[in-house]
């Protein structure tokens, strides 16, 4: 167990430091999300009441697309210099690597969300009519849902031809219930018309199921020859 947490921490620290120095993922995600916000704003030009109805969808679609940018880069770095092959032959547990990568992506996407949310509020003049604090567990669970599956499928799509396009093709169909929960939960909180509790519970179940199955099967995927 200690080796698992040691290796996870080491990999996570390395990834965070690399990202801190290069800022590749966060910059491309931020700019991409910004573009989505601006384009959506132009195409719909909503009033305050309308934007409360549609903002849940816009926010999460923008974050989902932006997250794919970061997720695609997760493993690309490890392919150079055969780092992944070296990892495969080492006795280190595969799940330590997976957890580190997933947590790293969670940090990146969370930072993106923290920076983009004020912008959304400004552009769409948003104000929550429901209990706004519920947005925090909703966002955290939703982000983990996208990131845990995204990290897993990125490890799969890196082995295919046309790897960049393969990740969303695998990730989006499986993410439909998570995306629906995030969008509906956010809309419920913003409009204050319904309770978001069901969606938060559903996201928690989704996270539990897919985190377990990812941890169960990651070694199989990593060692697939």
- Summarize as ranges the residues that interact with another protein (CB under 8 A): 149, 156, 159-162, 166, 169-170, 172-174, 176-178, 180-181, 184, 198-199, 202, 205-206, 209-210, 213, 217, 220-221, 224-225
| Residue listed under structure tokens 């604090």 | 133
* Between 63 and 152, CB nearer to another protein: 152
* Between 120 and 206, CB nearer to another protein: 206
* Between 121 and 174, CB nearer to another protein: 174
Residue 174 Cβ, how far from another protein at the closest point, in Å? 5
- CB crowding 29-42: b at 16 or more within 10 Å, else e: bbebbbebbeebee
Kindly report the CA angle at 173 between 171 and 174, in degrees rounded to 5? 65
Residue 216 Cβ, how far from another protein at the closest point, in Å? 9
Rg (CA), the chain: 18
Residue 17 Cβ, how far from another protein at the closest point, in Å? 31
* Between 126 and 194, CB nearer to another protein: 194
Phi and psi (nearest 5°) for 193? -90, -25
Residue 212 Cβ, how far from another protein at the closest point, in Å? 9
Cα–Cα dist 209/202, whole Å: 11
* Between 18 and 170, CB nearer to another protein: 170
Cα–Cα dist 107/18, whole Å: 13
Residue 47 Cβ, how far from another protein at the closest point, in Å? 25
Stated length of the chain: 225
Token reading at 3: 């080796």
């Amino acid at each position: 167990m200690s080796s698992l947490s040691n290796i996870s921490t080491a990999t996570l620290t390395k990834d965070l430091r690399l990202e801190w120095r290069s800022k590749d993922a966060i910059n491309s995600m931020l700019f991409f999300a910004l573009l989505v916000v601006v384009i959506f704003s132009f195409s719909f030009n909503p009033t305050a009441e309308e934007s409360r109805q549609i903002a849940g969808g816009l926010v999460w679609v923008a974050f989902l697309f932006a997250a794919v940018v970061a997720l695609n880069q997760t493993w690309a770095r490890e392919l150079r210099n055969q780092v992944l092959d070296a990892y495969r032959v080492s006795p280190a547990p595969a799940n330590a690597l997976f957890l580190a990568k997933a947590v790293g992506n969670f940090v990146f996407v969370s930072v993106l969300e923290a920076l983009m949310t004020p912008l959304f509020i400004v552009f769409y003049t948003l104000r929550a009519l429901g209990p706004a604090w519920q947005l925090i567990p909703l966002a955290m669970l939703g982000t983990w849902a996208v990131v845990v599956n995204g990290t897993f499928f990125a490890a799969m799509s890196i082995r295919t031809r046309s790897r960049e396009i393969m990740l969303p093709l695998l990730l989006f169909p499986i993410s439909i219930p998570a995306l629906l929960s995030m969008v509906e939960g956010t809309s419920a909180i913003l409009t204050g018309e319904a309770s978001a509790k069901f969606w938060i519970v559903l996201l928690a179940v989704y996270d539990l199921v897919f985190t377990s199955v990812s941890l169960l099967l990651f070694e199989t995927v990593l060692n697939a020859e």
